Amino acid sequence: MSGANEIKRSWQHYIDGRFVDSLDGTRIPVVNPATGEVIADIACAKAADVDMAVAAARKAFNARLLQNMRPVERSRMMHRIARILLERTEEIALVETLDNGKRISAARGDVAAAARYFEYYAGMADKLEGKSIPLGPDYIDYTVHAPFGVSAQIVPWNFPLQIGARSIACALATCNTVVMKTPELSALSLAALAQAVHDAGVPAGVVNILTGFGHEAGAALAGHGDIDHLVFTGSVQTGSRILHALADRVVPAVMELGGKSAGVVFRDADIDQVITSTRGGIFTNAGQVCSASSRLVVERPVYDQVVERMAAAASALKIGPGIEDAELTPVISDGQLDKIEAMCLRAVQAGATAASGGRRVDRPGYFMAPTVIAGTTPSSEIAQNEVFGPVLTILPFDDAEEALAIANGTDYGLCAGVYTRDLARAHLVADRLIAGQVFVNEWFAGGIETPFGGMKRSGYGREKGVEALLGYVQTKNVAIRLTAGATGRPGA
């Protein structure tokens, strides 16, 4: 690193314990979304580089490098990664802010969260216990949580460090080796994680991290004949494509896909709390959050008040680069900005109202104005499809059944929320919302300790919490005949 706000210009893959360029020497430019300027470049993996990474992970798995460590040693190794990340917080946060666009305080938070994933799962490395199953005096029977082998992991650009860390930490805790394909639009923080993994003394080949385009490196990894498991976080469309590739070889997967999550606001809710919670829920990370609060479904008597106050809260946000810790930062790319703005323009053309925003901001970089859309219907495009930008759609309802029908009425099932002071209603509505996580009176309530994942097209499997580890192991049952005279009868 050189002067203030400058980062290393040239970045590489991490394969088999070494930092290397692509075999064909190609590179991907790294653009600062706050300015549109190229600030660095990173190696661009192709199928041949993916082959090398998978071969390294296979070799490390077959050599039982992780299984041969005592669980407490693996745990200490993971704690070392966490410590190194925390020591490098400022350096990594700067890289993330300039590469991804997010505010610097959030980037610091991502480093802390990444370290927490390693700490949390380090604590589980010696606690994943099997069962003993009674079969009578002639047998001993027990189960073992066996790793899959080579875990392929494909990461999106919105929270690359957190999402990458949670998958690698689970893999290390369960003795899987890793090949990670980082997002081409925001790869650098994971390259910094590779350095932390290396410096923590993780054996060569156990973790391999490379960067490349989805249709090249991503497709080569998902379609590779020698992976045993895949963790994907990204869009439904890409997830579905990857699942087709995996189906040929019956490779198991964890799928963390998109969302169109609704907060249901009853008239007895604390409206101050609704506004504060939703402002964070939709404008954090410029709305580029899979679990964003992208819809509010509001009981009619308080609908106008909520629209007006959300629009005021949106308009009051300080817009600017992440490095200035502005509240509303740029979206990741010009392509993404075009897509978001076009969706808003189509909504307004179809009769909706932009109570705030609705257009890009006239300044360098990729800034979308914080947008509140009202006066539309639950079946409209803007109310059904993931925008993945700072755009909130607010819809009215007249009774709880209608609220549930609207909230549950998309293809997605990632998150949902309820705002009410009535505890019984909160429980009853939470029970009927179709979502992997339900937030009551605070969007994003929960944490690293709580299982996270989707229902319906938002995916399956869970990340975070103890439960995530179950997505990285397969149960092996060992049944032992202790006495002579085995029956050999199946199912006896």
Instruction: Choose the binding region for ligand NAD from 133-141, 238-246, 260-268, 467-475 (rule: CB under 6 A).
Output: 238-246
Instruction: Choose the binding region for ligand NAD from 3-11, 77-85, 107-115, 235-243 (rule: CB under 6 A).
Output: 235-243
Single out the residue of 162, 164, 80, 77 nearest to residue 125, CA to CA: 77
Buried b (16+ CB within 10 A) or exposed e, 135-167: eeeeeeeeeebebbbbbbbbbbbbbbbbbbbbb
Is 209 or 352 the residue whose CB approaches ligand NAD more closely? 209
Answer yes or no whether residue 461 interacts with ligand NAD by CB under 6 A: no
Answer yes or no whether residue 156 interacts with ligand NAD by CB under 6 A: yes
Which of 99, 110, 184, 228 contacts ligand NAD by CB under 6 A?
Answer: 184
Is 155 or 473 the residue whose CB approaches ligand NAD more closely? 155
192: helix, coil or strand?
Answer: helix
What are the DSSP calls for 133-161, one per residue?
----TTEEEEEEEEE-SEEEEE--SSSHH
Answer yes or no whether residue 290 interacts with ligand NAD by CB under 6 A: yes
The CB-of-154 to ligand NAD minimum distance in angstroms stands at: 5
The CB-of-476 to ligand NAD minimum distance in angstroms stands at: 28
61: helix, coil or strand?
Answer: helix
Torsion, CA 166, CA 168, CA 174, CA 177, rounded to 10: 160
Single out the residue of 257, 281, 274, 261 nearest to residue 437, CA to CA: 261
What are the DSSP calls for 422-482, one per residue?
-HHHHHHHHHH--SSEEEESSTT---TTS-B--EETTEES-BSTGGGGGGGEEEEEEEEE-
Instruction: Choose the binding region for ligand NAD from 28-36, 172-180, 255-263, 482-490 (rule: CB under 6 A).
Output: 255-263
Answer yes or no whether residue 157 interacts with ligand NAD by CB under 6 A: yes
Which residue is closest to ligand NAD by CB?
Answer: 214
Distance, in Å, from the CA atom of 113 to the CA atom of 207, rounded to the nearest integer, reads: 19
Residue 348 tokens, joined: 């307004």
Residue 154 tokens, joined: 């494909």
Which of 214, 357, 390, 465 contacts ligand NAD by CB under 6 A?
Answer: 214
How many helices, marked H, and strands, marked E, lie in the chain? 14, 22
Answer yes or no whether residue 222 interacts with ligand NAD by CB under 6 A: yes
Instruction: Choose the binding region for ligand NAD from 124-132, 156-164, 166-174, 268-276 (rule: CB under 6 A).
Output: 156-164
Answer yes or no: 256 catalytic.
Answer: yes
The CB-of-234 to ligand NAD minimum distance in angstroms stands at: 3
- Report the relative pairing of strands 391-397 and 295-299 from DSSP bridges: parallel
Distance, in Å, from the CA atom of 203 to the CA atom of 206, rounded to the nearest integer, reads: 6
Instruction: Choose the binding region for ligand NAD from 40-48, 178-186, 194-202, 271-279 (rule: CB under 6 A).
Output: 178-186
The CB-of-212 to ligand NAD minimum distance in angstroms stands at: 8
121: helix, coil or strand?
Answer: helix
Q: Residue 479 in contact with residue 138, Cβ under 8 Å?
A: no
Distance, in Å, from the CA atom of 119 to the CA atom of 467, rounded to the nearest integer, reads: 16
Is 28 or 296 the residue whose CB approaches ligand NAD more closely? 28
Which of 49, 96, 110, 386 contacts ligand NAD by CB under 6 A?
Answer: 386
Which of 7, 28, 155, 210 contacts ligand NAD by CB under 6 A?
Answer: 155
Q: Residue 295 in contact with residue 261, Cβ under 8 Å?
A: yes
From the candidates 96, 119, 216, 256, give the one annotated as an active-site residue.
256
The CB-of-167 to ligand NAD minimum distance in angstroms stands at: 10
Instruction: Choose the binding region for ligand NAD from 50-58, 95-103, 252-260, 273-281 (rule: CB under 6 A).
Output: 252-260
Answer yes or no whether residue 127 interacts with ligand NAD by CB under 6 A: no
The CB-of-481 to ligand NAD minimum distance in angstroms stands at: 45
Is 158 or 329 the residue whose CB approaches ligand NAD more closely? 158
Answer yes or no whether residue 238 interacts with ligand NAD by CB under 6 A: yes
Q: Which residues are catalytic?
A: 256
Q: Which residues bind ligand NAD (CB under 6 A)?
A: 154-158, 181, 183-184, 214-215, 218-219, 222, 233-235, 238, 241-242, 256-259, 290, 386, 388, 414, 454
